[in-house]
């Protein structure tokens, strides 16, 4: 049973297990339509946390950039990427390079940064033959479903992201920081509350502690906002994890997460987090031309395994500061 959004003039379909959907005439000019519906679209995202727009017929990066310029307050340049991307224009990127047979579990984009996008745009230029949905989950609902004892610990301690940069796997220094010049990397780390240590082989290891629970800067709702499960070693396929540990050592994984005070996060916790996410996941298979708008603080997103060619472009906008989201863990000054 579908229903219309009560706070906008747009007729939004809402069905259990599906993201809210808005259907438009394929003959419309996407950029002009977005400009005319900007306030209504943003009201829908504010109400529901996300909306899938079907019928815009987006075909290329220029079309996505046109939508971004009309909907967003400011495009955002990605920093601290965990995997390589192709850049098309300011704020418009390819999807992260990630094996098609491996899921990208639920997460909030760049939630380990001090500044992150408040709004995400995903545009399907080419749909896969099977799988590959960008699914969504409501983070306040996920938070409420998690055990109180666990969430209280994460609120108290926050979470710790550890990274090891090398030239073989994951994002390189230049891809993550925009430079591989040591002085510039060190300055960025100091300014962004990131501990760093250069390794004898020239690699870099970093640690950054962040809040796992924040308050939405507009609504004040408590949100489970992090990448604890996605970037944890136990989310990796067993054979991938074993290979990486054999190759780089347990402390040299490209990325891993811990409790904020440094204790390891067990497989049981990661499995629980992913189970709660799955129980609260809404998904809709991509069709070419689709546009998905996501409130990055309220709504987590994932990328499911797929077969066949898949081209989904990603845009980041509306830079938001962690300090404006009532963090529970104090970030040391740079």
pLDDT at site 329: 96
- DSSP state string for 174-228: HHHHS---HHHHHHHHHHTT-EEEE-TTS-EEEEEEE-SEEE-TTT--EEE---T
pLDDT at site 334: 59
Contact 161, 246 (CB under 8 A): no
pLDDT at site 127: 96
Sheet of 159-165, strands arranged across: 195-198, 204-210, 159-165, 255-259
pLDDT at site 8: 47
In whole angstroms, what is the distance from residue 238 CA to residue 231 CA? 14
- Write out pLDDT tens, residues 123-167: 999 999 999 999 999 999 999 999 999 999 999 999 999 999 977
**Nearest-10 crossing angle of helices 61-71, 38-48:** 80
- Show the low-confidence residues of the chain (pLDDT under 70): 1-9, 333-334
- Write out pLDDT tens, residues 270-284: 999 999 999 999 999
- Residue of 34, 124, 70, 107 whose CA lies nearest to 314: 124
pLDDT at site 75: 92
pLDDT at site 80: 95
Q: With a threshold of 0.75, does the pTM exceed it?
A: yes
pLDDT at site 2: 44
CA distances from 125 to 200, 282, 285 (A): 43, 21, 13
Q: Which two tokens stand for residue 91?
A: 């704020």
The CATH homologous superfamily to which domain 142-274 belongs is Clavaminate synthase-like (3.60.130.10)
Q: For the chain, which residues make up each domain, given as ranges?
A: 142-274
pLDDT at site 308: 94
Q: What's the 3-state SS for 226-248?
A: CCCCCCCHHHCCHHHHHHHHHHH
């Amino acid at each position: 049973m579908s229903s219309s959004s009560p706070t906008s003039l747009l007729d939004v379909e809402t069905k259990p297990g599906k993201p809210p959907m808005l259907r438009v005439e394929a003959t419309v000019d996407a950029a002009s339509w977005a400009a005319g519906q900007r306030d209504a679209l943003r009201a829908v995202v504010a109400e529901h946390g996300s909306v899938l727009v079907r019928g815009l017929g987006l075909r290329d990066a220029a079309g996505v950039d046109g939508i971004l310029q009309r909907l967003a307050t400011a495009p955002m340049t990605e920093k601290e990427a965990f995997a390589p991307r192709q850049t098309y224009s300011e704020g418009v990127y390819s999807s992260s390079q990630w094996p098609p047979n491996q899921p990208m579990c639920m997460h909030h984009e760049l939630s380990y940064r001090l500044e992150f996008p408040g709004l995400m745009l995903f545009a399907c230029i080419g749909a896969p033959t099977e799988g590959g949905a960008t699914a969504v989950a409501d983070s306040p609902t996920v938070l409420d479903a998690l055990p109180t004892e666990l969430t209280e610990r994460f609120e108290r301690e926050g979470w710790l992201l550890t990274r090891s940069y090398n030239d073989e796997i994951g994002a390189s220094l230049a891809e993550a920081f925009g430079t591989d010049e040591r002085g510039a990397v060190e300055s960025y780390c100091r300014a962004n509350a990131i501990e760093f240590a250069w390794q004898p082989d020239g690699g870099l290891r970093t640690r950054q502690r962040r809040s796992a629970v924040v308050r939405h800067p507009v609504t004040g709702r408590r949100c489970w906002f992090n990448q604890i499960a996605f970037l944890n070693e136990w989310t990796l396929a067993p054979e991938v994890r074993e290979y990486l540990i054999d190759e780089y050592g347990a402390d040299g994984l490209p990325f891993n997460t811990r409790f904020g005070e440094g204790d390891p996060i067990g497989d049981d916790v990661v499995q629980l987090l992913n189970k709660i996410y799955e129980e609260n996941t809404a998904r809709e298979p991509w069709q070419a031309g689709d546009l998905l708008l996501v409130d990055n603080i309220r709504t987590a997103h994932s990328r499911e395994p797929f077969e066949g060619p898949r081209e989904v472009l990603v845009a980041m906008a509306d830079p938001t500061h962690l300090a404006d989201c009532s963090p529970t863990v104090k970030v040391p000054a740079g």
